[in-house]
Amino acid sequence: MPLVNIQLRHGTTPAYRRAIADSVHAAMMEVLGIAADDRFEVVNEHAPENLIHDPMFLDVPRSDRSVFLQLFLNRRSGDQKQRLFATIVERLARDPGLAPEDIFIGIVEVDAENWWAFARPTTASAI
Amino acid sequence: MPLVNIQLRHGTTPAYRRAIADSVHAAMMEVLGIAADDRFEVVNEHAPENLIHDPMFLDVPRSDRSVFLQLFLNRRSGDQKQRLFATIVERLARDPGLAPEDIFIGIVEVDAENWWAFARPTTASAI
Amino acid sequence: MPLVNIQLRHGTTPAYRRAIADSVHAAMMEVLGIAADDRFEVVNEHAPENLIHDPMFLDVPRSDRSVFLQLFLNRRSGDQKQRLFATIVERLARDPGLAPEDIFIGIVEVDAENWWAFARPTTASAI
């Protein structure tokens, strides 16, 4: 039962935002074995001045199409997290066509017992 | 000093949203011994397409009244977290009348030293 | 690669909100050694009824200028976190002139491997 926060600037279409959400969820299914229906994502749209980043972090130019992703997940290995990052970036490049330098991802890991959704008060599996 | 994020769709009344916040806080007071005035809650209202979940997760139909709750808390036992989930769901069913299948909860636990509010730079107790 | 969430009520100017973001980032540079360009901050503006706190938490009057800060960081010592709190409050008092009782801060710590930004898939340093 992961929770995904997607933050980006105002001015995109619902289809564009949906493509981001779909690509992130598909990457979590592929790398972490998350179920197709185990999907909880929130898209937050911001005024340009409210989404703040340096336009040249690590000497790489970053555009105003920047997307900040925050993933709340059960604990994973370092290797799984690296593969998740790579797969998210790869899928977002395909759809909706986001440049890697415009993607910022942070993971927050929690215990499997920290989720509740009707009919599954605790998660038996580590997924 | 917990922090609660409440996410739901646009189109509800302030009284409805307040009832959600009140019920969640009352459950935290009851189960975790949180003080009445130790209350920090943020309600985020979203366009329907920006709050994404599967309408049939775990084969249970879920409506567009879905509410995602995210609780940032000091560490608790598994038992306390289970009782907290049950009490939140029970209170939200009473007021504002939310169906259990429309509630999704995630907890993120932190150290007691990770909070700051004026007059209490560090929390002596684990509450 | 920290991520900062800033939550406050509607009705402020872009310059006021920018001053908050600048002061928080400057405090993180000063106390934690974060790089100037390692900056990812999101400002969320809320209707008054959606930013809920007790007006008298710990018997201190708190105004409707309240700001909730949430910092997602790599792990730090308790001492560093205390100095970070003090420095943020001190800088926000100077610019934009926030009263300490109107500031609420919560930190969520994660592993250094939990961040991804183009050109730095993993953070070698603990910064």
**What is the CATH classification number for the domain harbouring B67?**
3.30.429.10
Percent of chain C with pLDDT over 70: 93
- Residue among B21, B41, B24 nearest B32 (CA): B24
Window from A57-66, A84-93, C77-86 with minimum mean pLDDT: A57-66
Strands (E), C18-117: 40-46, 51-53, 67-74, 103-110, 115-117
B31 within some domain: yes
User: Is residue A59 very low, low, confident or very high in pLDDT (cuts 50, 70, 90)?
Assistant: confident
* C70/C41 Cα distance (integer angstroms): 10
Contact assessment for residue B9 and residue B20, using Cβ atoms and an 8 Å cutoff: no
**Which of B50, B82, B83 to mutate against chain A (most A CBs within 10 Å)?**
B50
Contact assessment for residue C74 and residue C113, using Cβ atoms and an 8 Å cutoff: no
| Contact list, A40 vs chain B (CB under 8 Å) | 52-53, 68, 104
| Contact list, B52 vs chain A (CB under 8 Å) | 18, 21, 39-43
B88 within some domain: yes
Angle between helices C78-94 and C14-32 (to 10 degrees): 150
Looking at the DSSP bridge assignments, the partners of residue C107 are C71
Give me the torsion for CA of B106, C124, A69, C68, rounded to 10°. Answer: 60
A119 within some domain: no
Tally of structural domains, chain C: 1
| Contact list, C110 vs chain A (CB under 8 Å) | 106-109
The Cα of A59 is separated from the nearest Cα of chain B by a number of Å equal to 32
Q: For the purposes of burial, counting CB atoms within 10 Å of the CB of A59, is it exposed (0-12), middle (13-18) or buried (19 or more)?
A: exposed
C120 within some domain: no
Q: Can you tell me the mean pLDDT for A28-43?
A: 96
Q: What is the pLDDT along chain B (127 residues), one digit of tens a residue?
A: 899 999 999 999 999 999 999 999 999 999 999 999 999 999 999 999 999 998 877 777 777 889 999 999 999 999 999 999 999 999 999 999 999 999 999 999 999 999 999 764 444 444 4
B126 within some domain: no
| DSSP-derived secondary structure letter, C75 | -
* C35/C126 Cα distance (integer angstroms): 12
Residue range C78-106, pLDDT digits in tens:
999 999 999 999 999 999 999 999 999 99
The confidence score (pLDDT) of residue B60 equals: 76
pTM, 2 dp = 0.93
The confidence score (pLDDT) of residue C20 equals: 98
Contact assessment for residue A49 and residue A33, using Cβ atoms and an 8 Å cutoff: no
* C3/B117 Cα distance (integer angstroms): 20
C96 within some domain: yes
C119 within some domain: no
Contact assessment for residue A92 and residue A20, using Cβ atoms and an 8 Å cutoff: yes
Q: How many CB pairs under 8 A join B and C?
A: 94
Residue C122 pLDDT exceeds 80: no
A85 in reach of chain C (CB within 8 A) = yes
C17 within some domain: yes
Percent of chain A with pLDDT over 70: 92
Q: Which domain holds residue B54?
A: 3-114
